[in-house]
Amino acid sequence: MRIISGSHKGRKITAPKQLPVRPTTDMAKEALFNILHNAYFFEELSVLDLYAGTGNISYEFASRGCAHIVAVDASHRCVKFIAATSKALEFPILAIKAEVLDYLDRTLQQFDIIFADPPYDKPIEEFQRIRELVFQKSLLREGGVLIIEHSKRTDLSGLEYFEQQRKYGGSVFSFFRMGGS
């Protein structure tokens, strides 16, 4: 994996092979960040990265100047890797070991962007529960967005607050925000 833009542009990060992850492809990540670049000033964002895995998405936000990033994953090895990499790169990423739904249920923080990349084989109810908790608990700041990455075999377009989706290969990003259809 590599960082596409920002202070660490082009930096390659090699995660240990035993991590239980499926990183977002560079092509999909670049497309996602092109969308976000046109909508946000990264330096002003507070970001929550759920099912953070290797930290791929968190590093991209940090390289682009985000000063507050929380990365949540249930794997101790993933959290340890994110914490070590963030320290080495001097990124402001707080890595938290927690089950994502439990974390969402108990956090009181609000974020500008919440990115969730659950394993593609999770039941659709888990994708729905992520969206429910984010909006029921008002975890997004005004103008904020929830982005869920999922397989093209999963359809989230019928969920409340759905705004749009973008497809990149076998991956889909579904965007949710207050005022979405």
Identify the pLDDT of residue 51.
Answer: 96
**What pTM, to 2 d.p., does this model score?**
0.93
Torsion of CA 56, 167, 152, 33, to 10 degrees: 20
Residue 15 has pLDDT above 90, yes or no: no
What CATH architecture does domain 64-169 belong to? 3-Layer(aba) Sandwich (3.40)
Cα 1 off chain centre by: 15
**Domain spans of the chain, in order of start:** 64-169
Assess contact for 48 and 115: CB atoms under 8 A. Answer: yes
Cα 49 off chain centre by: 4
Residue 20 has pLDDT above 70, yes or no: no
C-alpha 77/C-alpha 93 separation (Å) is 16
State the pLDDT confidence band at 14, using cuts at 50, 70 and 90: confident
Q: Round the average pLDDT of the chain to a whole number and report it.
A: 91
Residue 48 has pLDDT above 60, yes or no: yes
Q: At what angle do helices 56-63 and 26-37 cross, to 10 degrees?
A: 40
State the pLDDT confidence band at 127, using cuts at 50, 70 and 90: very high
Identify the pLDDT of residue 130.
Answer: 97
C-alpha 137/C-alpha 5 separation (Å) is 32
Identify the pLDDT of residue 21.
Answer: 61
Identify the pLDDT of residue 157.
Answer: 94
Assess contact for 63 and 42: CB atoms under 8 A. Answer: no
Residue with tokens 């974020």: 111
